[in-house]
Amino acid sequence: MSSAKRAPHEKMQFQLTLRRRGISDQAVLRAMEEVPRENFVEEGFREDAYLDVPLPIACGQTISQPFVVAYMTEQLQLRNVHRVLEIGTGSGYQAAVLSRLVREVVTLERFRSLAKRAQARLTRLGYGNVEVLVGDGFSVPDEAGHFDRIMVTAAMESIPDDLVRLLEPEGVLIAPVGPQTGSQTLVRLRKTPDGVERTDLIGVRFVPALAGIAREM
């Protein structure tokens, strides 16, 4: 069956799965519906684009399963005035979802080839409020400024203080924290006048966040 004929049924099931798993923010559900996930997966996996599973992409990375994308997005409690930093661009899918909900998205990717492909894809699909930068998520350049929200889409053994400092007052950061192999805990930090509040959310499994710009052959 062609992708065009499959899409309506698949997208309906896609939305039902997210709702059944507890995603209730209507703006997040609408953003998940609007972003064409099939355009962000590798060609050989497009038949599986709307399954609730992670899928492999280039450079040994993955595109997260839709529930995790929606859950992390919902937990950020986004508003359309927000400026958001994403660490780990990958295919650009998460950045595209964020872009439907906020004013601006800056996303960092340590693999130059992934960053180049993601920027081209996002531009082609009309996500004009996303800027893709090649960079180190452990050392975000000062010129990037500060952010209302930060999302990390790779596993960190601990969240660097330098990343937390980039948050505006009342800003929120969400990241998978734990060992680079095995499972991690999704952690949400909120910067308050009294300090940083931490909330542990759900168990997840992400590829590791590595320091530096990747050397690619």
Q: Is residue 163 part of a domain?
A: yes
CB 136, CB 154: distance < 8 Å: no
Residues annotated as catalytic (active site), given as ranges: 64
Q: Is residue 139 part of a domain?
A: yes
Q: What is the pLDDT of residue 216?
A: 66
User: The domain that contains 139 carries what CATH number?
Assistant: 3.40.50.150
Q: For residue 7, what pLDDT band results from cuts at 50, 70 and 90?
A: low
Q: Is residue 64 part of a domain?
A: yes
Is pLDDT at 2 greater than 90 in this prediction? no
Is pLDDT at 4 greater than 50 in this prediction? no
**Total domains, the chain:** 1
User: What is the rounded average pLDDT of the residues 148-159?
Assistant: 95
User: What is the rounded average pLDDT of the residues 39-47?
Assistant: 93
User: What is the rounded average pLDDT of the residues 4-10?
Assistant: 61
For 15-40, how does the pLDDT look when each residue is reduced to its tens digit (9 = 90+)? 999 999 999 999 999 999 999 999 99
Q: Is residue 40 part of a domain?
A: yes
Structural domain boundaries, residue 34: 3-204
Q: Is residue 211 part of a domain?
A: no
For 66-120, how does the pLDDT look when each residue is reduced to its tens digit (9 = 90+)? 999 999 999 999 999 999 999 999 999 999 999 999 999 999 999 999 999 999 9
Q: What is the pLDDT of residue 217?
A: 45
What percentage of the chain exceeds 70 in pLDDT?
Answer: 95
Q: For residue 141, what pLDDT band results from cuts at 50, 70 and 90?
A: confident
Q: Is residue 209 part of a domain?
A: no
Q: What is the pLDDT of residue 5?
A: 47
Q: Is residue 61 part of a domain?
A: yes
Mean pLDDT computed over every residue of the chain? 92
